[in-house]
Amino acid sequence: MANFCARSYIFTLLFSLFLLILPIMSHPQKSCSVLDSGPVTSTIPLISFLEEIQETALNTFGPNNFDPKLYIDFSMKSNLSITQQAFSKLPRTTNGGVASAAKLQKFIQDYFNGAGDDLIYEHPVDFVVEPHGFLPKVKNHEVRAWALQVHGLWKNLSRKVSPSVKEHPELHTLLPLPESCVIPGSRFREVYYWDSYWVIRGLLASHMHKTATAIVTNLIYFVEKYGYVLNGARAYYTNRSQPPLLSSMIHEIYQRTGDINLIKKALPALIKEHGFWNSGVHKVTIRDSEGCSHNLSRYYAMWNKPRPESATMDKETASKLSDAADKQKLYREVASTAESGWDFSTRWMRNSSDLTTLTTTTILPVDLNAYILKMEFDIAYFAKIAGDNSIAAQFLEASKAREKAFNSVFWNEKMSQWLDCWITCKDDQTWEVSHQNQHLFASNFVPLWIKPFESASLAEKVMKSLANSGLVRATGIATSLTNSGQQWDFPNGWAPMQHIIIESLAKSGSKEAYLMAEDIAIRWIRTNHASYKNTGEMHEKYDVEKCGEYGGGGEYIPQTGFGWTNGVVLALLEEFGWPQDRKLDC
């Protein structure tokens, strides 16, 4: 074991030196013993002013139907100083509101464009009403008609950033993009990182390869400009990323198109993104019980203030804390949880009923490290296609090191699941695992989606664990078993987790696992259809206890549209089809 650890250490050292050439090294790793020593990314002056507008609107209009993101998405008609001067002249109340709600409303109309007005509807260049060869396994006429309606939603969600954003960036929180994009929908008016993976899966099922490639081009642009893919295409998202699935998007597009030029264009950006997740504040060196060191990754936002898009809510949450340093730490934890995509869940909380106990930055997440492991395999594969065998070899070695860490750090043999790990600071640069989080979350099964764990025997073991976990419910897989009121907890089910687990089981090579995958897919498709039939909308999340009911909880009302939900339904119908005689209703 000692010799293996020595070899592992030497490789880790060499690979770390390779990563040092990357620009993202400007954020050095901080001592793990400091309470909150991480970086803070600066933002544009407009955001601070819009936060002031946001808080004033809450105090003036009241909390009913108040969405803080609405105000932070405004763009200005005049320059900042003129708008600030006009704002300062509004008559005030003692609570910080404006004396007349009508006057505040008129000020907003006079000086701001509406949220989303700096995006233009864009008809996708490759959209046709019924693509040739669309969902060949769907034989049921009712399902096909509905699937074509879902396919038609790509038109509704397609956007292009207005030229005015590039011409006058100081007037907008929206960021310019080189290509058209697909948004999630409703309050989410801009492109988002991990949503885009499932949007692309749906677009590929819709044979919309050009639209899918345009999305990836935008995300590559972010890496080239910022060093990583932003959470979303807004100036207030530049302080964090989201689950890193860019390489997976490119892999899926390449499998359909064979576009080698895309691979060559993407490869430098993917190497840079890998460096972002494996250096500085995101890198965690863990020493296991055998004395081996492993380099793994965590979520860690470069921000320690209220999130601008939710500033009034974050301040209210932090008001339970009296110490300024504790509030700063909480704000970083909140933003880091947003980076995880699971905002919010008891998965990140020490106390399931208290959001101030978020400690996301001291958790090693199973899913994040699985996505990065997949990224390492993808980069090695792409490098080989591009003819760079040296890079291919380096990333294959990196994947082997992370795979060993999965077996040593995350795997729980007794539960037959991979578990998140709470970590504690051992010395200035090294952490140790305090304990595995043995609560049940859908994320515990994500590694099965990754190549090293694609085996029939392992899939059957994990499948039995999933079947006995209580997560598989009447209409899909619950995110957790804790009903906390947070939106990434019970009874909510989310399209990404359904798809990852279903696809993992289906491609495992086990017939039994495939049948379980198909069963869960049928349940999920039925609840999506029933809800669409009742409401005329595709929803962001669903209640997995009640067929046809959309989900709730969290800090905003349930949203419709909806990018990744549409994508998963189309991808599942492409894989499993729908026989003519299969019942569709709940």
Active site residues: 343, 540
Pairwise CA distance, residues 212 & 216, whole Å = 7
**What is the rounded end-to-end Cα distance, in angstroms, of the chain?**
55
Inter-CA distances, 405 with 278, 382, 422, 479, 583, Å = 14, 24, 15, 25, 44
Length of the chain: 586
Pairwise CA distance, residues 237 & 518, whole Å = 37
> Which of 370, 214, 348 has the alpha carbon at shortest distance from 277?
370
> Which of 360, 354, 359 has the alpha carbon at shortest distance from 317?
354
Pairwise CA distance, residues 59 & 458, whole Å = 55
Question: Token pair for residue 98?
Answer: 């404006």
Pairwise CA distance, residues 294 & 285, whole Å = 6
CA torsion 534-537-538-541 (nearest 10°) is -70
Pairwise CA distance, residues 425 & 397, whole Å = 27
Alpha helices in 227-297 (DSSP H): 246-257, 260-277
Token pair 């957790």: residue? 480
Which pairs with CB-CB distance under 8 Å and at least 24 residues apart come from 20-26?
20/279, 22/271, 22/272, 22/275, 22/276, 22/279, 23/227, 23/272, 24/227, 24/228, 24/272, 24/275, 24/276, 24/279, 24/280, 25/275, 25/279, 25/280
What are phi and psi for residue 92, nearest 5 degrees?
-110, 160
* Torsion sign (Cα): 23, 361, 331, 29: negative
> Which of 467, 460, 451, 462 has the alpha carbon at shortest distance from 415?
462
